[in-house]
Amino acid sequence: MAVTNMPPSNYIRTSPDELDRIRSRYTKRSKWTFTTVLQKVLFWALIVFIVLYTLFPFYWAIVSSLTPDVDLYVYPVRYWPQNVTLEHYEAVFENGGFMRALLNSTIVSFGTVILALFFGTLAAYAMGRLRFRGRTPVLYLILSMTMFPAIAIVGSLYTFMQRFDLYNTLHGLIIVYLTFSLPFIVWVLTNFFRAMPGELEQAALVDGATPLRALWQVLLPMAIPGLVTTGLLAFISAWSEFLYALSFTINDDARTVQVAISQFTGNTQFELPFAKKMAAAVIVTVPLLVGVLIVQRRIISGLTAGAVKG
C-alpha cells in the first residue's frame, strides 16, 4: 500500500541550516543604506524613550530624596545630585509616626499573606484537584470576588468593624484584606494546580496516601515557586492598599504606611516637604521592587494566568 511505502518523516524534514538558507533567499539582505540606518536610529530612540519614560519618575524620587533642600528648590532643576545628603532619610527614620506605620504595614501585610496563603492553598487544591459538586459555581464566585469594588462596602464595613471592635486595629485590617487577597490567591493557585501533571499525585493516592498527604508531600514541593510568586503579588496588593486603610484607621495604632505618607507634611507650614516625601516613597517602594526583580519572570506568567490587576 502506498501509505506504508511512504519514506519515514525525517526524510522530508529540512535541517535548520537549510531552512535558514531558504529563508534568507526571501529576506532582503541588510545593507547599510540610509533608510536602514535611519530605521535603526529611530528604533533605538524609541527604546531609549520607553525606558526613560518608565524609569524617570522613580529616578527623580531617588535624586530628590538625596538632594539638600537648597539645591532642590531651584530653577532650572538639577537632573543629578551635585551634593548628596542623607538628611531627609534621617528625618524620615526619626519620625515616630512613620516608623510605627512602617511596622503596622509590615504586620498587616505579612499577616494577610500568611493567612491567605494557608487557606488559599488548601482551597485551591480542592478546586484544582478534587471532584465535588458545586465546584464550578464556587470558582465563579471566587473569580468575581477578584473584581469586587471595595468602595461598595466601605460604609457598611465601617459599622461592622465598630460593632466588633475591629475599627482602628491591625487584625481588623488583616481580616478586611482577606476579602481581596484570599480570592486572588485561590484563583491563581487553582489554575496553577490544574496545570500540574497528575501522575505523581495519583501514584501517592494509589499507595494509600490521603489527599492532604498527597498535597503536602507531592504537590506542594512542586508548587513552591508558584506559591512564592503568588504570595509576593498578594503582599504587594496588601502593602499598597489605601482605601480601607484610610477609612478604617484613625491614629498611629493602626495607620498603615500608605496613609502615613499621603499625609506627610513639612515641620512648619512654610516648609516644602517634597524631599522627605520622596525619601519616604523610596523606603516604601524599594522592598517591593527587590521582590519583583527576584521573581520577575514568573510574575508575568502568573499574572496572565490569574488576574490582570494593576
Partner 1 sequence: MSSDQQTAQVTSVVEAEESRAGRAYRDRGTLARQQERLGWLLVVPPLVVIAVIALYPLFETFRLSFTNERLASAREARYVGFENYTDMFADDQFWTSMKNTVIFTVSSVALETILGMVIALVIHSNFRGRGLVRTSMLVPWAIPTVVSSLLWQWMFHDTYGVINSILKQLRLMPEDKFLAWNADPSTALGAVVAVDVWKTTPFMALLLLAGLQVIPGDVYEAAYVDGANKVQQFLHMTLPLLKPAILVALIFRTLDAFRVFDMIYVLNGYATETMSIAIYTQQLIVGRQRLGEGSAPAVIIFICVGLMAFIYTRLIRVEEA
Peptide bond before 225: cis, by omega within 30 degrees of 0? no
Q: Which of residues 236-255 bind partner 1 (CB under 8 A)?
A: 236, 239-240, 242-243, 246-247
Q: Which of residues 183-222 bind partner 1 (CB under 8 A)?
A: 183, 186, 194, 206, 211-212
Where do the DSSP E strands lie in the chain? none
Contact between 299 and partner 1 per CB under 8 A: yes
Closest CA to 188 of 145, 250, 159: 145
Cα separation, 283 vs 62, whole angstroms = 10
Q: Which of residues 50-109 bind partner 1 (CB under 8 A)?
A: 50-51, 53-55, 57-58, 60-61, 64, 72-77
Binding residues for partner 1, rule CB under 8 A, total: 99
Candidates 1-9, 86-94, 155-163, 196-204; binding stretch for partner 1 (CB under 8 A): 155-163
Least Å distance between CB 84 and partner 1?
Answer: 18
Q: Which of 158, 169, 222, 252: binder of partner 1 (CB under 8 A)? A: 158
Q: State which residue, 154 or 200, has the beta carbon closest to partner 1.
A: 154
Contact between 288 and partner 1 per CB under 8 A: yes
Least Å distance between CB 4 and partner 1?
Answer: 29
Least Å distance between CB 5 and partner 1?
Answer: 29
Sign of the CA dihedral with 186 first, then 191, 194, and 197 last: negative
Contacts of 109 (CB under 8 A, 6+ apart): 235, 238, 239
Closest CA to 169 of 60, 252, 93, 94: 252
Least Å distance between CB 141 and partner 1?
Answer: 7
Least Å distance between CB 138 and partner 1?
Answer: 6
Contacts of 16 (CB under 8 A, 6+ apart): none
Q: Which of residues 109-138 bind partner 1 (CB under 8 A)?
A: 119-120, 122-123, 125-127, 130-136, 138
Q: In this structure, what C-alpha cell is assigned to residue 72?
A: 532642590
- Give, for 91, the enclosing helix (H) or strand (E): helix 87-93
Contacts of 194 (CB under 8 A, 6+ apart): 128, 129
The answer to whether the beta carbons of residues 273 and 192 sit under 8 Å apart is no
Least Å distance between CB 106 and partner 1?
Answer: 14
Least Å distance between CB 77 and partner 1?
Answer: 4
Q: State which residue, 4 or 131, has the beta carbon closest to partner 1.
A: 131
Cα separation, 159 vs 138, whole angstroms = 28
Per-residue x/- track, 18-57, partner 1 (CB under 8 A): -----x--x----------------x--xx--xx-xxx-x
